[in-house]
Amino acid sequence: MNPAPDFIRKGRNSNLGWRCVVVESQCKISCSGNYLIVRNEQVKKIHLSEICYLMIASTNVSLTGVALCELAKQNIKVVFCDEKHNPYGEIMPYYGSHNCSKRIKKQINWHANLKDEINLLIIKRKILNQAKLLYKLSFDDRAKMLEEYADSVIKNDETNREGHSAKVYFNTLFGQEFSRQIDSNVNSALNYGYTVLLSCINREVVANGCLTQLGMQHCNEFNEFNFSCDLIEPFRIIVDEYVFLNRDRTFDSEYKHDLINLLNKRVNLGCERHLHNAIAVSVKSVIDSLDENDVSLLKLYEFE
């Protein structure tokens, strides 16, 4: 196989044959014989079984209807970017599993108390992960403060420990003047990285036959991804650490590609595995816990 042309970027795990593919300039994408075919001055073929994530990072890309259908059938996450090359939308298949109706009925009937309990554990894990990063960076006093916040989280986070922790955490990492609302390279990178994680989580939620719209804590009627927004919380730390280490870096296409390639990062969740696999395991564990009314089945990512 010839080397990939410049307009295609790939992150690859050679052991699993898994790729995240980013298309960055004008081309035509089609499918034939279970291959994704990308045509520009060159022609590149990638077997669909090797692809898990396809980002269309240019508005000058055309895709055939056949390609879109095949990508959806293969449960390959497709994300489209706007004219500023920022993720704007994605494709999800109607049917992520063979028994979607049964799965959705179960999801609707998940016990409210159990959802509250699992959501509380997720928020605690998120805050404890933030504390661990601060310890790693030698901000011990602030880390201890976050541990205290985590210990005092109550049902539905009525005392807003998550919000207080976030303020301490981000101000420690990026300075007292930092706010998540300002326009900056750091916020652009954080938002981009979180979007990549969210897309991966959406894929796993749908693959398990559930609706992304029906969340545990998140319940915004205008949010298509309420459930995924619940599940992302323990994983945000991976993006946070990378952005902190690159906080003075220009937010360019190379940086974006590196954020996408975090899905191939090796993390520990029961055993060492790639992040995209850890997300799959964690999402399934949450769904299994809710289905079986058994919190002991829960597997949440713990930062190291």
pLDDT tens across 51-73, in order? 888 989 899 999 999 999 999 88
Give the whole-number percent of the chain exceeding pLDDT 70: 93
DSSP, res 235 = G
Band of pLDDT at residue 97, cut at 50, 70 and 90? low
Sequence ranges of the domains in the chain: 8-91, 100-297
CATH fold of the domain at 8-91: Ribosomal Protein L15; Chain: K; domain 2 (3.100.10)
For 141, residues 6+ apart whose C-beta sits below 8 A from its C-beta are: none
Torsion 195-199-205-211 (CA) sign: positive
The partner residues of 47 in beta bridges, in order of sequence, read 35
pLDDT at 1: 36
Residue 126 has pLDDT above 60, yes or no: yes
* Alpha carbon distance 141, 293 (integer Å): 38
* Alpha carbon distance 107, 291 (integer Å): 8
Residue 263 has pLDDT above 90, yes or no: yes
* Alpha carbon distance 159, 149 (integer Å): 10
Residue 96 has pLDDT above 70, yes or no: no
Strand pairing report for 271-274 and 266-269: antiparallel
For the sheet containing 18-23, what is the strand order?
A: 8-13, 18-23, 51-56, 77-81, 87-91
pLDDT tens across 205-242, in order? 988 889 999 999 888 888 889 999 999 999 999 999 99
**For residues 180 and 258, is the Cβ–Cβ distance under 8 A?**
no
pLDDT at 4: 46
pTM (2 decimals)? Answer: 0.83
pLDDT at 9: 52
pLDDT at 53: 85
Decide which of 3.40.50.150, 1.20.120.920, 4.10.490.10, 1.10.3720.10 is the CATH code for 100-297. Answer: 1.20.120.920
**For residues 272 and 16, is the Cβ–Cβ distance under 8 A?**
no
* Alpha carbon distance 36, 67 (integer Å): 7
pLDDT at 83: 86
Residue 6 has pLDDT above 60, yes or no: no
**Which tokens sit at 159?**
């005392």
